[in-house]
Amino acid sequence: MKDITSGPLVNRVANSGIEVINLEDYYPHNDIAVFDIKPYLFKELILKEKDFRSALKEIDWSIYNNKIVLVYNSTDAIIPVWAYMLVASYLTDIAETIFQGTQSEYLQYHYANVVAGLDLTTYQEKRVVIKGCSNKPVPPIAYALLTSRLKGYAQSIMYGEPCSTVPIFKRPRVLPNI
């Protein structure tokens, strides 16, 4: 039996040449705040323009400073588009980002933009692991979009941790003509 205590420890994963992409690294850095229109509706059903405009004038908008603000309506009431526009007009120059929708919808939008903007040429012909098991809510669409884009560059794509991966894609080797 081989004595594993003799000789230096070698991190075979670090020396394997595998590149790791951690989508969690691209999670939004700014705090996320919610602006729900529900409290400004009459009986949670109707948006009265005059009352809505008056209520918005009374809000301390500074609480949204440098935040990602998700503007949405948590009821089934039909909200006119101009209401979202009016809220956005108050948040402009205060919020970092204004998004009409839920946190889940925002994260899908955010990651679609992140993945579209990544320079993947550095992964040309490399073995890549898309890290799983994140502590932040990275939406599944981010993994699918990254895989789709990365497939044009990488030699192979795996999911999970470098020490334990699930194979996703492997480019067939092209044999040279002799």
Q: Which string of b and e fits 148-165 if b means at least 16 CB within 10 Å? A: eebeebbebbbbeebeeb
pLDDT, tens digit, for every residue of 23-69? 999 999 999 999 999 999 998 899 999 999 999 999 999 999 999 99
Q: What one-character DSSP code corresponds to residue 69?
A: E
pLDDT given at position 173: 76
120 C-beta neighbours (distance < 10 Å), count:
16
Burial (CB < 10 A; 0-12, 13-18, 19+), residue 137, is exposed
Q: What is the mean pLDDT of the chain?
A: 90
pLDDT, tens digit, for every residue of 1-14? 555 555 554 444 45
